[in-house]
Amino acid sequence: MITMNGKKMQFSNISTDINLDNLENQDSLDVIVNMGPQHPSTHGVFRLVLWIDGEIITKAEPHIGYLHRGSEKLCESELYSQVISLFDRIDYLANLNMELGFCAAVEKLMEIDIPDRAWYIRTILCELNRIASHLLFYGVFGLDAGAMTPVLYGFRDREKIQSVFESVTGARMMHNFIRIGGLKEDVGNDFKKDVTKLLSTLKTSIDECDELLSGNEVFLARTKGIGTIERQTALDYGLSGPTLRGSGIPEDIRISDPYGIYDRFDFKIPVGTVGDSWDRYYVRVEEMRQSISIIEQALAQMDEGPILGNVRRLIKPPKGEVYTRTETPRGDFGVFLVSDGSDKPYRVKVRAPSFSNLLALTKMLENSYVADSVVILGSLDIVMGEVDR
Amino acid sequence: MIKLIKGLIITLSTALRSPVTGEYPMPEKRIPVKNKFMGFPALTYDFEIDEPFCTGCMVCIRNCPTSCMSANMKDNEKFTENKSSRKKIIDTFEINLGRCILCGICVDVCNFDAIEMSHEHERSKFERNANRVNLPELIKMGVKYQQKINWSPKQEKNRGTPKKPKTSNENNGNLT
C-alpha cells in the first residue's frame, strides 16, 4: 500500500486508488510493507507492518495472534496435573522454566513445602534450559545478522543439553517433569557425572561461540547502535529479562525477588550499557556463563532426600488467587491463578515476557533501516508461542 | 579484522573434528534413544500368566489430557481357573497415537504398571487410520520395550501370579 497526499494505492487484496499526477510535490512517500506472517526470520508466525520512507522505517506495527491456541482457556478444563503439559507448550524453547512457573503458583496457593533436593534438581534443569534457550538465540541471531555458521554451533551445544534432558526426563523438549510439590521422579545416579561433564564441554563451547561471533567486525557493524532503547523507555514499556538488562538495568527476579533456592547461590547479573542489539546479545552470552556457575554451586550443595512434598494425587488447592513471578530465559514470567476449590483451575492468566518485549519493537524500529529490522526483532528473542498463548 | 580471522580459524579447526551428528534413517548410524526415553505408550505383558498387566480400570483414560485412549474390560477366565490374580482383564484398548502428546501422565497414574512409555517413536504409516493402534499392536510395542530394557513391574503386587486361595479372596487389592 502506498500512501501519498492522503490518497492510497493498495496492493494485493485491497482496492487501488492512486493519484500519480503530483508525485514530484511529495514530502515523503511512505510505502507499507508486510513482513510475515510466513517470513523465515520472524521466529514463528508473526506479521510486522512497516511504513517505509526510502530505507528508513517511520512506523512499525506488530500483528500477533497467528499462533493463538487458547492455552489459558484450555487450562480451565484440565486437571491441575494436566495443565503442566499445556505449559510445556507456551514457551517451547524453555519448557522446564514454564512448568516451574505454573507449579510455583499452585505451590504458593497450597502452601506446600518442597524438599530441598527437588528444588536443586529443578534449579539445575531450569538453568540448563536457560543455557539451551540462549544457545538457540545465539544461533538464530547470528543467522539474522547474516552469519550462517553460528547456528550450527548453537545447535550442536543445545543438542548436548537436550541429551541430558532426555536421560533425565525422558523427552528432549516436552518434558512434563516438574510436578506440583516436587518432581516426577528422582534423577539417576549418573546425573551429577553427566551434568559435570556437560558443563565442562559447555564452558569451552560457549567460549568458542563467543569468540566466533562476538568480535566479528561484520557482526559488530550489524548490531552496535542498532535498535537502541534507553533505560527509561525500557522501563516504560515494561520490558524484562535480558532485553531490559541490555539497557543497563540490573533487574533479575532470581535476585530481586528470589524464588525457590536462588538466594543460596552467588551469581552476577550481566548488564549492558547502551541498550542496543549488541548489548542484548552479549547479556545473554554472559548469562549462559552465570547459569553455568549456578549449576556448579547447585551440584555441590545438592544432597540426597525426597523429591516430592506432601501432596495428594488429585490436587485441589483452596479457594483463592495467587500471582507468582519466575525468571525465564525471556524475562519476567508471571502466572495469575484463581482457584474455586475444585480440581480444575478457575482462571489461569499468563504474563508472558515476550509479549511485553514485542511491543517495544515499535519504538526500536522507528527511524532504523529496513535491513536492520530483522536484527532488531531477533535481538528481542521472542517466542511466538508465548506471545499468543 | 583479527577477530574475523580468529573466527575463521575456529571454523577450520571444527572442520577437522569428528562429526557430532548421526544419520537418521540408517539403523547403524543413528543416535540411539536413551533408556528413559518416552515414546508412545504401550501395554506391558505378563509372561508368567500369559496375559497383559492391564485390567482396564480406565484411570489412564480419565487422566489423559487429550483423551486419546479408550478401553473396555471383561471378566478374566484365568481368574476363575485360579491361574491369575486378576479378576478383570482388558478386552479392547485403542490409543490414537496421532493425538497422544507423550506427556506420560497415563504411566504416572497406572496402579498396575500396565502401561509404559515405550521407545516407539516412528509412526509414519501409509494407511489413514494406522495410528489408531489396538490391543495386540500395543502389546507388541510393549513386549518389544520390555525385552529391550529388561523391564519388571515397579511393585511386586502387580505380578499376576495367583495367591494362595485364602489370601486371594481377601486381597483383591488390584481392583480397587
Comparing C-alpha atoms, which of B133, B138, B128 is closest to residue B96?
B133
What is the DSSP-derived secondary structure letter of residue B18? P
Comparing C-alpha atoms, which of A211, A138, A130 is closest to residue A165?
A130
Residue in B with minimal Cα distance to A172: B37
Residue-level pLDDT at A21: 57
Residue-level pLDDT at A19: 55
| Residue B130, min C-alpha distance to chain A (Å) | 24
Give the span between the Cα atoms of A222 and A242, in whole angstroms.
19
In tens, the pLDDT along A163-207 reads 898 888 888 888 888 888 888 888 888 888 888 998 999 899 888
In tens, the pLDDT along B5-34 reads 888 888 888 888 888 888 888 888 888 888
Q: Around B14, how many Cα atoms within 13 Å sit in the side-chain half-sphere?
A: 17
| Residue A344, min C-alpha distance to chain B (Å) | 12
- CB contacts < 8 A (A, B): 71
Which residues are CB-contacts of B172 (< 8 A; sequence separation ≥ 6)? B87
The shortest CB-CB distance from B36 to any of A167, A208, A215 is to A167
> Is A216's CB within 8 Å of B108's CB?
no
Helix spans in chain A (H): 71-75, 80-87, 95-110, 116-144, 150-169, 191-213, 217-223, 231-236, 242-245, 253-256, 277-301, 353-359, 361-365, 370-380, 384-388
Give the span between the Cα atoms of A246 and A342, in whole angstroms.
43
DSSP string covering B26-66, please? -TTTSPPPPTT---SEEE-EETTTTEES-----HHHHH-TT
Residue B133 corresponds to which cell in the numbers above? 493402534
Rounded to 5 degrees, φ, ψ at B130 are -70, -15
- What's the pTM? 0.85
Which amino acid would we find at residue B145? Answer: Y
Residue-level pLDDT at A2: 47
How many other C-beta atoms lie within 10 A of the C-beta of residue A22?
9
In tens, the pLDDT along A218-271 reads 888 888 888 888 888 888 888 888 888 888 888 888 888 888 888 888 888 888
Which amino acid would we find at residue B87? Answer: K
User: In chain B, which residues have their Cβ closer than 8 Å to the Cβ of A213?
Assistant: 7
Rounded to 5 degrees, φ, ψ at A337 are -120, 125
Q: Is B54 exposed, middle or buried (0-12, 13-18, 19+ CB in 10 A)?
A: buried
Residue A3 corresponds to which cell in the numbers above? 500512501
Residue-level pLDDT at A222: 85
Q: Examine residue A317 and say whether the peptide bond preceding it is cis (omega within 30 degrees of 0).
A: no
ipTM here: 0.81
> Is A170's CB within 8 Å of B63's CB?
no
Q: Which residue of B1, B3, B24, B119 is the best one to mutate when testing the A interface, meaning the one whose CB has the most A CBs within 10 A?
A: B3
Residue A222 corresponds to which cell in the numbers above? 550489524
Strand partners, A320: A339
User: In chain A, which residues have their Cβ closer than 8 Å to the Cβ of B11?
Assistant: 149, 212
How far apart, in Å, are the Cα atoms of A233 and each of A8, A60, A247, A362, B153?
33, 17, 9, 12, 59
Higher pLDDT, A123 or B77: A123
Helix spans in A238-333 (H): 242-245, 253-256, 277-301
Residue B50 corresponds to which cell in the numbers above? 500369559
Residue A267 corresponds to which cell in the numbers above? 551469581
Cα angle at B159 between B157 and B165, to 5 degrees? 75
Which of the residues in chain A have pLDDT under 70? 1-29, 39-42
Strand partners, B88: B75
Which amino acid would we find at residue B54? Answer: C
Residue-level pLDDT at A131: 92
The shortest CB-CB distance from A149 to any of B11, B101, B102 is to B11
In tens, the pLDDT along B117-174 reads 888 888 788 888 888 888 888 888 888 888 888 888 887 777 777 765 544 454 555 5
Listed by number, the residues of chain A in 229-288 with a beta carbon closer than 8 Å to a beta carbon of chain B are none
